[in-house]
């Protein structure tokens, strides 16, 4: 039996461009893995792919209840594992145990992280020696964010999100992540964005503002000038769908972060803080304000991988 940590992610930058003929939007995003995450275990069996789900976080009276997570082919872990085993012509089976902590519907990439770690676990279990780039390529048909999680660095992602360019992330910042008592549907947020752009005759294009390719600095860190501002094109449509997010934003801002933003298509909102004590103070203040689940986390981006090994 082997196990791996499946980190959640935060989008420090997300610019959404035109919708392509395949139905996906052109994206430009910078993502960083964080210390909030699930744990996945795998062990070999005689045949088939099975999954059990356990909880690491107390989901009592919360819409993220692990009882709502399917354990059959509806779950991306099972689906991608079956496909990968068939692709590699492996006839034996596997059993997965998922210890869940990442909240669903928050824009933190939990399902994508689980799928990517599934590939990494199978790669290790069967000694396949595939690079993370090979695993990322295989994952492209299963979801846009999966490729990011097949490697361990912060990354600039383009295309649908499947083109991954690892970058250095030197920041020692702390994040406070708020998950309101509700989630958001990614298709619904993108549909609202398209509706707003259509009514405003807006041009669908990725911002021309470029993201530094060598490293990313969040505003205010160690007095360094930022190379890119934290922003998210999906923030406005998400707030229109759930106006309560505007109140979450105000409450996060009232805690004096270096900067703040929504992650992915929401509903999670995060603030960036220089020190852990500042983040802890902000988290306690937010919890007292009954904004929902609040986590204090750090980036867990590692040095860019050498040789492309997974």
Question: What would the mean pLDDT of 44-51 be, rounded to a whole number?
Answer: 96
Q: Both 65 and 115 in a single domain?
A: yes
Q: CA–CA distance from 215 to each of 5, 184, 274 (Å)?
A: 24, 31, 18
Q: Both 143 and 184 in a single domain?
A: no
Residue 175 near residue 299 (C-beta atoms within 8 A): yes
Q: Both 137 and 225 in a single domain?
A: no
| CATH number of the structural domain spanning residue 93 | 3.30.230.10
Q: What percent of the chain has pLDDT over 70?
A: 84
| CATH number of the structural domain spanning residue 199 | 3.30.70.890
Q: Both 156 and 258 in a single domain?
A: no
Residue 309 pairs with which residues in a beta bridge? Answer: 131
Q: Both 135 and 88 in a single domain?
A: yes
Residue 204 reports pLDDT greater than 70: no
Residues recognised as catalytic: 9, 145
The burial of 268, by beta-carbon neighbours within 10 Å (0-12 exposed, 13-18 middle, 19 or more buried), is given as buried
220: left (phi over 0), alpha (psi -120 to 50) or beta: left
Task: Tell me, yes or no, whether 302 lies in a domain.
Answer: no
Q: Domain boundary at 138, 167, 196, which?
A: 167
Task: Tell me, yes or no, whether 310 lies in a domain.
Answer: no
Q: Both 189 and 81 in a single domain?
A: no
- Assign 60 a pLDDT band (cuts: 50, 70, 90): low
Task: Tell me, yes or no, whether 207 lies in a domain.
Answer: yes
Buried/exposed 42-80: b ≥16 CB within 10 Å, e otherwise: beeeeeebebebebebebeeeebebeebeeeeebbbbbb
Q: Both 154 and 181 in a single domain?
A: no
Task: Tell me, yes or no, whether 40 lies in a domain.
Answer: yes
Task: Tell me, yes or no, whether 184 lies in a domain.
Answer: yes
Q: Both 293 and 214 in a single domain?
A: yes
Q: Both 238 and 130 in a single domain?
A: no
Q: Both 208 and 136 in a single domain?
A: no
Nearest to 15 by CA among 237, 233, 269: 233
Task: Tell me, yes or no, whether 25 lies in a domain.
Answer: yes
pLDDT at 22: 75
pLDDT tens sequence across 261-289: 999 999 999 999 999 999 999 999 999 99
pLDDT at 203: 52
pLDDT tens sequence across 183-200: 999 999 999 998 998 887
pLDDT at 200: 75
Task: Tell me, yes or no, whether 185 lies in a domain.
Answer: yes
Q: How many domains does the chain have?
A: 2
Residue 147 near residue 180 (C-beta atoms within 8 A): no
Residue 57 reports pLDDT greater than 70: no
> Two tokens at 2?
């082997």
Q: Both 134 and 254 in a single domain?
A: no
| Domain enclosing residue 95, as ranges | 2-167
Q: Domain boundary at 125, 150, 167, which?
A: 167
Task: Tell me, yes or no, whether 283 lies in a domain.
Answer: yes
Q: Domain boundary at 124, 141, 167, which?
A: 167
pLDDT tens sequence across 145-169: 999 999 999 999 998 888 999 988 7
Q: Both 195 and 85 in a single domain?
A: no
pLDDT at 66: 64
pLDDT tens sequence across 208-239: 344 444 445 555 444 443 444 578 999 999 99
């Amino acid at each position: 039996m082997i196990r791996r940590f499946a980190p959640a992610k935060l989008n420090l930058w997300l610019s959404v461009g035109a919708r392509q003929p395949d139905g996906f939007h052109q994206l430009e995003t910078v993502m960083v893995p964080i210390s909030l995450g699930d744990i996945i275990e795998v062990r070999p069996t005689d045949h088939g792919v099975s999954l059990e789900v356990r909880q690491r976080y107390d989901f009592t009276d919360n819409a993220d209840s692990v009882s709502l997570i399917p354990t059959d082919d509806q779950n991306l872990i099972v689906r991608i594992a079956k496909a990968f085993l068939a692709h590699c012509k492996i006839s034996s089976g596997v059993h997965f145990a998922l210890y869940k902590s990442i909240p669903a519907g928050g824009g933190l990439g939990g399902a994508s992280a689980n799928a990517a770690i599934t590939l990494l676990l199978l790669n290790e279990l069967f000694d396949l020696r595939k690079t993370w780039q090979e695993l990322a390529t295989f994952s492209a048909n299963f979801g846009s964010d999966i490729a990011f999680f097949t490697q361990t660095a912060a990354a600039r992602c383009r295309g649908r999100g499947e083109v991954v360019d690892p970058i250095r992330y030197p920041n020692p910042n702390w994040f406070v992540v708020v998950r309101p008592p509700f989630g958001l549907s990614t298709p619904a947020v993108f549909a609202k964005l398209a509706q707003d752009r259509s009514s405003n005759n807006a041009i669908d294009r990725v911002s021309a503002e470029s993201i530094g390719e060598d490293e990313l600095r969040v505003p205010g860190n160690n007095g360094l000038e930022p190379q890119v501002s934290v922003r998210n094109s999906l923030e406005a449509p998400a707030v229109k769908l759930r106006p309560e997010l505007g109140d979450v934003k105000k409450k996060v801002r009232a805690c004096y972060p270096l900067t703040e933003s929504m992650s992915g298509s929401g509903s999670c909102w995060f603030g960036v803080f220089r020190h852990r004590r500042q983040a802890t103070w902000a988290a306690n203040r937010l919890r007292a304000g009954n904004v929902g689940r609040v986590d204090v986390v750090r980036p867990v981006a590692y040095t860019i991988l050498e040789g492309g090994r997974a």
